[in-house]
């Protein structure tokens, strides 16, 4: 089971890096789908098959289809590809690279200090997830849904054709 976890983690890291570096939006979305499937395998290997299924159904399925529709609706063309190439200049990566280095140092410290323990938890039941999501975290779930809706409305207004 540890081998499945580590292989899935490596696949998730590599494909997420490819999502960030692709200039074609559809290719980036395909890599993001692979990354989300790898995260679902990680959840499954940790004993949460219901969360893994939700990851596949909601994120890798529904949300990615929504992203593809938004990309088709915006129809950005060659101008956007040129702008993305400008964003991939080496100097642009200094800030994110610094933040990633800080997080990597924290992770290394965490593992070397002996605080890292793998939980031997059992299977998480769907009822427990539902009680948590619609109990103490109901406000967070609703805020996340409103954020997604506002992003969709904003994308529509940005992508609609201008009246002559």
State pLDDT tens for residues 32-52: 888 888 888 888 888 778 888
Q: Among candidates 14, 33, 13, 31, which has minimal Cα distance to 22? A: 31
Tens of pLDDT, residue by residue over 50-63, are: 888 888 888 878 77
Q: Is 60 exceeded by the pLDDT of residue 121?
A: yes
| Residue 32: burial class (beta carbons within 10 Å; 0-12, 13-18, 19+) | buried
The whole model's pTM is what? Answer: 0.55
- Counting residues of the chain whose pLDDT is more than 90, the rounded percentage is 2
Say what the pLDDT of residue 146 is: 92
pLDDT in tens, 54-105: 888 888 787 777 777 777 766 666 676 677 677 677 777 777 678 778 877 8
- Confidence band for 123, pLDDT divided at 50, 70 and 90: confident
- For residue 140, pLDDT beyond 80: yes
Higher pLDDT, 119 or 163: 163
CA atoms within 13 A on the CB side of 16: 11
- Please name which of 130, 123, 134, 143 lies closest in space to residue 46, comparing C-alpha atoms: 123
């Amino acid at each position: 089971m540890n081998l499945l976890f580590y292989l899935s983690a490596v696949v998730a890291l590599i494909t997420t890096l490819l999502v960030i570096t692709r200039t074609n939006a559809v290719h980036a979305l395909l890599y993001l789908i692979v990354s989300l499937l790898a995260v679902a395998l990680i959840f499954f290997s940790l004993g949460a098959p219901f969360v893994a299924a939700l990851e596949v159904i909601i994120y890798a399925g529904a949300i990615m289809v929504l992203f593809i529709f938004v990309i088709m609706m915006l129809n950005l063309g060659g101008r956007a590809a040129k702008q993305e190439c400008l964003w991939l200049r080496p100097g642009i990566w200094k800030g994110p690279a610094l933040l990633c280095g800080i997080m990597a140092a924290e992770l290394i410290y965490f593992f070397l200090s002996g605080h890292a323990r793998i939980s031997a938890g059992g299977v998480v039941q769907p009822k427990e997830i539902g009680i948590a999501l619609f109990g103490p975290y109901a406000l967070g779930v609703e805020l996340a849904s409103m954020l997604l809706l506002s992003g969709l409305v904003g994308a529509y207004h940005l992508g609609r054709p201008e009246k002559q």
